[in-house]
Structure 1
Amino acid sequence: MGITRAIGAHYAQEEGTTFTVWAPAAEQVEVIIHGKSDQTIALQREAYGYWVGLAEDAKPGTRYTFKLDNDNKFPDPASLSQPDGVHKASEVVDPNYSWTDQNWKNLPLEEYIVYELHVGTFSEEGTFAGIINKLPELKELGITAIELMPIAQFPGKRNWGYDGVYPFAAQNSYGGPDGLRKLVDACHNAGIAVVLDVVYNHLGPEGNYTSNFGPYFTDKYNTPWGAALNFDDAHSDHVRNFFFQNALMWLRDFHIDALRLDAVHAILDTGAKHFLQELQEHVDHLATQQNKLYYLIAESDLNDVRLIDPIKEGGYGLAAQWMDDYHHAIHTIVTSETDGYYADFGKPEHLVKTLKHSFIYNGMYSEYRKRTIGTDATINPAKQFVVCSQNHDQVGNRMLGERLTQLVSFEMLKPVAAMVLLSPYTPMLFMGEEYGEENPFQFFVSHTDKDLVEAVRKGRKEEFKAFAWQGEAPDPQSEETFNNSKLQHNYSNNKKKNQLREFYKSLIQLRKSIVQKLSKENLEAILNDDETVLRFTHTSAGLDCIINFSKEPQTIAPELKGWEVVLDSADEKWGGPGSYSSNYSSGDITLQPESVIVLQAKA
């Protein structure tokens, strides 16, 4: 592995705080300790352009900035806390915390039932503490892992998190580093793992002062979000180290269980050892040291098994990756949308292929991309693919941010849930989907730079040109857009929503009862003659799932001997129109429109 070096402000009791910053081109670097009267301490230059110094009086809560060559003062790129926002001083953080999760062991990946949430809109408070208040509800639902959208410090109080500019600092308006530690501790005590979404492919524009310190960016490449981070050019060892240290900090110091790596296809690295492989090696080393399981989960649109293949077989060794093909196959069938990237999907046979082989585009020509994409993922274990019917991207990057609740009938929501929760893959829900949340999830920011705000507005409109969506895009800068995206959590006083949530709960319980037997190898999937009914059977788990995607009743004749119906979404107790249960005994099954029936082998 390459250069590894601690960076940032590290406090040790009875010693003070050691400050380390990388600034290879600087002739002089000082740390300014802010207080009633500022104190200036000259840092000493060490190898490769690292500058180090000790401030004995700097305790947790101390504010500081770095001064470069008697010029401007800047916050610490590796700041652990920005209590006054992205443009103000950094804060020394106490590394000591009274953890109570000593008995927690991370779950096997196949037991993850992930719940993706945005801290600012998930609860009324919009904070880490607000999530803690709702952990009993998530636990009761059956969730085993929450995934936090990025919480690295961003400008203002409203942002999806992908504009973060201080990767080491938990967002101040969410509760800062202590708030995050309390949340993780509470999750572990509730038996829930924590996945953190991190962004290693770019940094946001506002409050991004890293270029003043060193060549964090390269002109060799561009990303959809601006300049590319320097992972393979001159001085790249130290940029890589910056992000390696970040990942290790979240896992080691904040007890995070897994990292979701945003858009890894935009991590551009042509070096002999890819950044992702080296990152995995660092995490493997930490796992050995800590005797714990840690997972790296990639988001990628390349359909490339190299990400998750073992390192000894030429892969990067990551634990899992998000699988868009599964989402797109479901979404196009139930909504009939075929605009933009959905143009490559919409055939019922895609559902069969993705259940059996994971990637639909596994070396196939993509009409939308005008090129062949993908590799064959058939032999990769199912747990390595995270699947969903909704997530922040697929909902929030619609022009109006409509959830599936607004696009399909109440009845159709239930077979869609079965496709995710009874698949062999690692399932992920998007906050609120379990009860049919009707508020949208829209894109929002709170930048202070007016030109940047206008650029964001213009950029959003450009993104929607490939789609035939009607209406006017909500203003991302408006606080109303943010407030409209908050969850209502109103299932307890709404019969239909509560019935949907109970249906999700039953699916989750069913999954947990067979999870050790789920695999692609022991799965059979077929369509009926007119491709309106999908049937997939987990042969080793003794579970049969039959879904009618059409708006008409469909009758099929499965072999029912030795099987019993355990779930029928058309049943009135799930808010359905009533099942055709009288037909079960005849050997035929008539499925209500837009419904799912689940059968289980009799004991």
Structure 2
Amino acid sequence: MSYEAMMGVRPGVTFNDRGEANVLVWAPKAEKVQLKFGDSLPLDLEKGAYGFWTLETFALRPGDKYGFLLDDQGPLPDPATLHQPDGVHGLSGAFDVRKFSWTDGQWKNPAMKDYIIYELHTGTFTPEGTFAGIAEKLGYLAELGVNAIEIMPVSQFAGERNWGYDGVFPYSVQNSYGGPGGLQYLVNACHERGIAVVLDLVYNHLGPEGNVLERFGHYFTAKYNTPWGEAVNFDDAWSDAVRHYFVQNALMWFRDFHIDALRLDAVHAIKDFSPVHILQEIREKTDELARETGREHYLIVEMDLNDTRFVKPVESGGYGMDAQWVDEFHHALRVSSGQERTGYYSDFDGVASLAKSYRDAYVYDGIYSDHRKRKFGMKADGIPGHRFIVFSQNHDHVGNRMLGERTSRLVSFEMQKLLAGAVFASPFVPLLFMGEEWSEPNPFQYFVSHTDPELAEAVRKGRKKEFAAFHLEGEAPDPVAAATFERSRVQWHLIDREPHRTMLRYYRKWIGLRKTQPVLKACDREGLSADVFEEKELIIVERVWERQHVVAFLNFSKTPREVSLPFAHLTWHKLIASSDTVWNGPQTMPEKAEAGPVIMPPESITVYANIINS
């Protein structure tokens, strides 16, 4: 097989229409590679160019457990294993992705601007902690109104409890969640319910326990330092095969699992100074796949960089990502709600920063950051709103607190409603974190289940050291303890109890408005203004799209504020007011109002429109 041909083939074990297993493994460090399964003698792989080894055999069947012998040492799991039935330390399980009977032929991925994303963690979202458990809740999610779920990483990790960012086999699907077949079933069920699936992937590092990739090839490089040690090798010697490994991984999720979008974790930690950045290469190969399949797939990035190069189209000199998470909107929103200004929150001035994020997406767009001690960011002018995803909470900013408190434990019920409205009223794509829609009180804490005692103890000590300065708030929860994981489960029985039931109705109302009101649906940044009154802790957001004009009053203070509706000749119709008694609030706002003064209750958001799309 030529080098070019190998670059177009997914690594690992695949099966063709005749049931023959095609094996491709990159192992330039070995002089001999053999496939070992069952009680049979090992099968020799043929050495090709650039460290690739190949084999075609009818002997290996789906369901067989197998591994590779490298120079008679092993067997080791397949670096591109799809299934680890016995965990990270066991053999790989041969899996034929073509066997699943898909029924989503008519499915069409919603436009990015129409996404309403619901982030969840498989293990804590349901009592079962499985893909099948998520599938049982799809009726609830459809009724809520979200049209995309974002699943935290599912690549195989050690044990059964983990956020997922410690995965060591990027192609695999966590065995305790239901394995690859379970994920295919869930995606198909989501599409039948009109729900897209976003999968969270980690391309900036791999976890520590069970990581065998370096035994096979030069997957990592000492050329760069990262928080996790040596960087993934995207631009050093031997990097072509590493790039092939990750590009083919992205394509596999789209092609074989029908995933609609990938969320790529912390791409600022991807070190690549190649002429074509790895993200751009994934973009270009994804577009090629889309032309073949007729399906549209999105690439979303999380990054600690206010750099529009990531979300600009390739033809404009960018990497072509479809959207990015905007942490700065979240940070400004949290400070506006009265939460502490420590750490990275210290850079944000409450409502002034939030109003800037409404207008400019990035708060820091080339201005000096005291926290970073340098100028930071660049202008996002001309970048449409649907390329930015915003939220009032997510797994990171909840779970990275020492005690993992959700917003429901940090601010009042009224402020929670205001924070939700601030997200939905923005010109950006909204994201919810599981349970926030019913004001879930349980924390979401950091948890792992490493089976290596030394590693488990190192994680435990590291977590305590990280929060040593916060000892007055109590001890950091033990991340290895099963109780930490159990505390992080959402409580489904609460949705039938007050005030959780009311909060859930409130979220459903906002999601309905987001879908039906032209201004809220448009993700248009051009027709937006955001006036800030710092001393009053007040923001007035106006948005215009076609014939509809919407005014949103956001009062973050604890006192009533007088505001004015514009244009004397217009009658304004209320879309929603968080203070209304129907939402357990203290004061119902008028259904109709003329230009002139309106009294805004404390910690509330009220939205009026001149035309209502019913």
Q: Where on the TM-score scale, by shorter chain, does this alignment land: which range? A: over 0.9
One-letter amino acid of the counterpart of residue 552, structure 1: T
Match of 1:72 in 2: 74
Choose which of 536, 540, 544 in structure 1 pairs with 2:541: 536
Deviation of 1:490 after TM superposition, in Å, equals: 2.8
Contact 1:544–1:600 (8 Å) recurs in 2: yes
**Cα distance in 1 for residues equivalent to 2:15 and 2:114:** 37
Distance 1:529 1:473, change over 3 A: closer
Match of 2:355 in 1: 352
Contact 1:150–1:196 (8 Å) recurs in 2: yes
**Cα distance in 1 for residues equivalent to 2:71 and 2:600:** 74
Deviation of 1:578 after TM superposition, in Å, equals: 2.4
Q: Tell me whether 1:199 sits opposite 2:202 in the alignment.
A: yes
Using the TM superposition, name which of 153-162 and 368-377 deviates more: 368-377
Q: Deviations over 1:258-295 (max 9, x none)?
A: 00000000100111111111111111111111111111
Contact 1:356–1:378 (8 Å) recurs in 2: no
Distance 1:542 1:436, change over 3 A: same
Deviation of 1:113 after TM superposition, in Å, equals: 0.2
**Cα distance in 2 for residues equivalent to 1:246 and 1:270:** 21
**Cα distance in 2 for residues equivalent to 1:39 and 1:430:** 50
Match of 2:54 in 1: 52
**What is the TM-score normalised by the length of structure 1?**
0.97
Choose which of 539, 547, 556 in structure 2 pairs with 1:549: 556
Deviation of 1:465 after TM superposition, in Å, equals: 5.5
Match of 2:506 in 1: 503
Match of 2:485 in 1: 482
Match of 1:270 in 2: 273
Deviation of 1:302 after TM superposition, in Å, equals: 0.8
Deviation of 1:584 after TM superposition, in Å, equals: 4.7
Match of 1:110 in 2: 113
**Cα distance in 2 for residues equivalent to 1:317 and 1:117:** 26
**Cα distance in 2 for residues equivalent to 1:183 and 1:86:** 23
Contact 2:571–2:592 (8 Å) recurs in 1: no
One-letter amino acid of the counterpart of residue 600, structure 2: L
Match of 2:420 in 1: 417
Deviation of 1:466 after TM superposition, in Å, equals: 7.2
Choose which of 25, 28, 31 in structure 1 pairs with 2:29: 25
Contact 1:583–1:589 (8 Å) recurs in 2: no
One-letter amino acid of the counterpart of residue 285, structure 2: H
Q: Tell me whether 1:558 sits opposite 2:560 in the alignment.
A: no
**Cα distance in 1 for residues equivalent to 2:120 and 2:31:** 45
Q: Deviations over 1:2-53 (max 9, x none)?
A: 844431011235342121110012110000012xx23310000011111111
- The equivalences for 1:399-414 within 5 A come to 399-414=402-417
Deviation of 1:538 after TM superposition, in Å, equals: 1.1
Match of 1:602 in 2: 611
**Cα distance in 2 for residues equivalent to 1:488 and 1:516:** 31
**Cα distance in 2 for residues equivalent to 1:576 and 1:51:** 66
Contact 1:339–1:466 (8 Å) recurs in 2: no
**Cα distance in 2 for residues equivalent to 1:236 and 1:580:** 61
Contact 2:386–2:428 (8 Å) recurs in 1: yes
Choose which of 361, 364, 378 in structure 1 pairs with 2:367: 364
Aligned residues: 601
Q: Tell me whether 1:10 sits opposite 2:14 in the alignment.
A: yes
Distance 1:536 1:465, change over 3 A: farther
Contact 1:335–1:407 (8 Å) recurs in 2: no
Distance 1:276 1:578, change over 3 A: same
Distance 1:247 1:582, change over 3 A: closer
Match of 1:40 in 2: 42
Q: Deviations over 1:511-565 (max 9, x none)?
A: 1112553311001111237342211111224222111100111111223632112
Distance 1:127 1:289, change over 3 A: same
SS at match of 1:86: coil
SS at match of 1:556: strand
SS at match of 1:526: strand
Choose which of 82, 85, 89 in structure 1 pairs with 2:84: 82
Choose which of 585, 593, 603 in structure 1 pairs with 2:602: 593
Q: Tell me whether 1:438 sits opposite 2:447 in the alignment.
A: no
One-letter amino acid of the counterpart of residue 510, structure 1: L
Q: Tell me whether 1:93 sits opposite 2:95 in the alignment.
A: yes
Contact 2:308–2:378 (8 Å) recurs in 1: yes
Distance 1:54 1:582, change over 3 A: closer
Using the TM superposition, name which of 232-241 and 593-602 deviates more: 593-602
Choose which of 179, 193, 217 in structure 2 pairs with 1:214: 217
Q: What's the % identity of the aligned pairs?
A: 49
Distance 1:345 1:464, change over 3 A: farther
Q: Tell me whether 1:523 sits opposite 2:525 in the alignment.
A: no
**Cα distance in 2 for residues equivalent to 1:493 and 1:312:** 51
One-letter amino acid of the counterpart of residue 121, structure 1: T
One-letter amino acid of the counterpart of residue 521, structure 1: E
Choose which of 106, 122, 126 in structure 1 pairs with 2:125: 122
SS at match of 2:190: helix
Match of 1:139 in 2: 142
Q: Tell me whether 1:568 sits opposite 2:577 in the alignment.
A: yes
One-letter amino acid of the counterpart of residue 82, structure 1: Q
**Cα distance in 2 for residues equivalent to 1:512 and 1:582:** 21
